[in-house]
Amino acid sequence: MIQLKFRDDIYLAITGIIVTLAAYFALFIAPAEVTMGELVRIFYFHLPPAIICYLALLVSVATGLIFIRTKDFKYDALSESGALLGLVYGLITLISGAIWANATWGVYWNWDPRETTTLILWFAYLGYFLLRMSIENPERRASSAAVFNILAFMTVPLSYVSFILWPSLHPRLGDDGGGLGLTGTMVQALVMNIIGGVFVFGYVLKKTYDLRIKRDEYNSKLMEEM
C-alpha cells in the first residue's frame, strides 16, 4: 500500500522557489503603476498576508464550529492554530498597511475604515487568546473559545467590506475612481505572491497544529506521572 507522507524538505523547497520567483516578479518584472508609481510594489507584499489572515481565521472559526458538534479536541487545536496565525498575519497586514499609508498619504495611521476594522479584528482575536488563558477546564475552554470565535469572526467580513460601507482612501482592485489599475504582469505578480503565501501558510498551520497536539500529549504524560 502506498503511504503518503508529508515531506518537509520537498514542500519547503517548492515553497522557497515559488516565494523567490514571486518576489523577483514583484520587484523587477511587474511595471510601475500609473498613479502610485513604484510604491505599488508594496501591494504585492501587503495583500498576501491580509488574505492569509482571513484564511487562517476562516480555518479557525470553521474548525471551532466542528469542535462544537463533535467535541473532538483535534479541531480545537486546529482552531487555536488558525487563530494564532490570524494574529501573526494580521499584525503583518496592519504594520505593512501603515508603512504604505505613510508613503502615500503622509501619515502612518489615519483611522481609515479598513485600518480601523482590521485593528478591531486583531483585538477581537487577542481577546480570543485572553479568554483561552482565563479558563482552566479544557472542555469549557475549548467550547467557550469556539463560541467566542463565531463572534470574533464577524469582524472579518466587516473588515473586508469596510471600504464599501464607509468613505475610505484604501485602494481597491479594479476601481475606476483612483484605485489600483493592475495590468497583466502586475496581476501575475500578485497571484504568484498569493500562491507563495498560501504555500507558506499550509506549512506553518501544519507545524503549529503539530506543536499544539504534542503539547497536549506532553501535558497528559506529566499528569499521569503526578
| Contact (Cβ atoms closer than 8 angstroms) between residue 67 and residue 142 | yes
Q: What is the DSSP letter of 173?
A: B
Instruction: Tell me: does residue 34 bind other proteins (CB under 8 A).
Output: no
Q: CA-CA distance, 60 to 89, in Å (whole number)?
A: 14
Segment lying near other proteins (by CB under 8 A), choices 53-61, 151-159, 161-169, 198-206: 198-206
32/165 with CB nearer other proteins: 32
H helix intervals, 106-183: 113-134, 138-153, 155-165
Residue 48 in contact with other proteins, rule: CB under 8 A: yes
> Is residue 49 a contact residue for other proteins (CB under 8 A)?
yes
Q: How far is CA 147 from CA 78, 217, 226, in A?
A: 15, 25, 32
Q: Closest Cα partner for 129 from 176, 171, 79, 166?
A: 79
Helix (H) or strand (E) holding 13: helix 8-24
Among positions 31, 35, 38, 150, the unique one binding other proteins when judged by CB under 8 A: 38
Does 88 engage in binding with other proteins (CB under 8 A)?
A: yes
Applying CB under 8 A, does 200 fall inside the site for other proteins?
yes
Candidates 27, 161, 165, 187; binder of other proteins (CB under 8 A) is 27
**Which residues bind to other proteins, rule: CB under 8 A?**
23, 27, 38-39, 41-42, 45-46, 48-49, 88, 91-92, 95-96, 99-100, 102-103, 200, 203-204, 207-208, 210-211, 214-215, 217-218, 221, 225
